[in-house]
Amino acid sequence: MTAALLLSACSRPRQSAIPVELLDLYAAPGQVRVQTVLAGAVPEVEAALVSIPASLEHREAAVADSAVVWLILAGKGRITAGEQVFDVSGETIARAPQGWSWTLEAAPGETLHALRLRRALNAQDLEEFAKYPENNAAPLVKKFSECPAYHEAIKSPKTISRTLLPENFVPRMALGTVETTGPDAVGRHKHPMLEQFFLGLKDNEITVLADEDHVILPEFALLHIPLGSNHGVEVADGKKLHYVWMDFFMSKDGQEWLKMHKPVEESK
């Protein structure tokens, strides 16, 4: 009996140390649903999936000491920031000037699903907004596919990378996408100066490696890269890699890391 129990325990697969949480893209009719995702994984950052059923709206007042970025994942609807209204659909980023309130509304017959990223701001962060007034003058609302492309040495020539949220729009925060098809890989690297989430987009199916661990990241799932780990990504033949990276820097100096992203125009 003891030997059998030991054998069973030894044959059980080891749980990965890379946290992943699937996003439940569902909302009951007539009720907005807000679900916190990977709670407490990154200090000063809260991720939540907001699901809005057809013809309903979700309103959020501005908060002085935090910044909000929305990633529209699926569905169609409208976003109102201040007095400006934008039609939105899946794979769209939205960021309003600091201090503006938000209203998200699902279109008739649609359920709008959006990942809300809320970053706490310290006194120095609040001072940074005054240094970049052009980044805080109007809402930034763009389809992912319309965002500027960049190259990076750890990625293959066929990989398409885009910057969704450039630095200095939200202090100590930047977002982008990576897209390719297998077989391909993103080379291993370390960045102990920042915390990072990966968000699997539609049809994404990749293996994320971090030190001695690995885990599958499917579509519509959020993953936390262990801080300081030597990590990379692999995508198998016939599979798709398409994810959002979200960088949360511990200090502004850490944003030097982004200099490794070379705009496509510079590489010609």
Please give the pLDDT value at position 136. Answer: 92
SS3 labels along the chain:
CHHHHHHHHHHCCCCCCCCEEECCCCCCCCCCEEEEECCCCCCCEEEEEEEECCCCEEEECCCCCEEEEEEEEECEEEEEECCEEEEEECCEEEECCCCCCEEEEECCCCCEEEEEEEEECCHHHHHHHHHCHHHHCCCEEEEHHHCCEEECCCECCCCEEEEEEEEEEECCEEEEEEEEECCEEEEEECCCCEEEEEEECCCECEEEEECCEEEEECCCEEEEECCCCCEEEEECCCCEEEEEEEEEECCHHHHHHHHHCEEHHHHC
- Provide the β-strand partners of residue 84: 81
Q: Is the pLDDT of residue 3 over 70?
A: no
**Segment 194-214 mean pLDDT:** 97
Residue 254's domain comprises 20-267
1 within some domain = no
Contact in structure between 52 and 106 (CB atoms under 8 Å):
yes
How far apart, in whole angstroms, are the C-alpha atoms of residue 47 and residue 61?
17
Q: In this structure, what token pair is assigned to residue 189?
A: 């690297």
Please give the pLDDT value at position 23. Answer: 98
pLDDT in tens, 156-172: 999 999 999 999 999 99
Lowest mean pLDDT among 18-22, 25-29, 203-207: 25-29
If pLDDT is split at 50, 70 and 90, which confidence band does 261 have?
confident
24 within some domain = yes
Lowest mean pLDDT among 25-34, 100-109, 208-217, 247-256: 247-256
146 within some domain = yes
How far apart, in whole angstroms, are the C-alpha atoms of residue 203 and residue 208?
15
How far apart, in whole angstroms, are the C-alpha atoms of residue 49 and residue 58?
12
9 within some domain = no
242 within some domain = yes
Q: Is the pLDDT of residue 143 over 90?
A: yes
How many independent structural domains does the chain possess? 1
**Prior bond of 183 cis (ω within 30°):** yes
Please give the pLDDT value at position 15. Answer: 62
181 within some domain = yes
SS3 labels along 46-82:
EEEEEEECCCCEEEECCCCCEEEEEEEEECEEEEEEC
Please give the pLDDT value at position 12. Answer: 37
CATH code, domain carrying 110: 2.60.120.10
When the pLDDT of each residue in the chain is averaged and rounded to a whole number, the result is: 91
Q: Is the pLDDT of residue 4 over 50?
A: no
If pLDDT is split at 50, 70 and 90, which confidence band does 255 have?
confident
Residue with tokens 């885990």: 215
If pLDDT is split at 50, 70 and 90, which confidence band does 118 have?
very high
Q: How many CB atoms lie within 10 A of CB 61?
A: 7
pLDDT in tens, 24-52: 999 999 999 999 999 999 999 999 999 99
Q: Is the pLDDT of residue 266 over 90?
A: no
12 within some domain = no
Percent of the chain clearing pLDDT 90 (strictly above): 82
Higher pLDDT, 266 or 225: 225
Q: Is the pLDDT of residue 267 over 60?
A: no
Please give the pLDDT value at position 258. Answer: 80
If pLDDT is split at 50, 70 and 90, which confidence band does 244 have?
very high
How far apart, in whole angstroms, are the C-alpha atoms of residue 225 and residue 216?
13
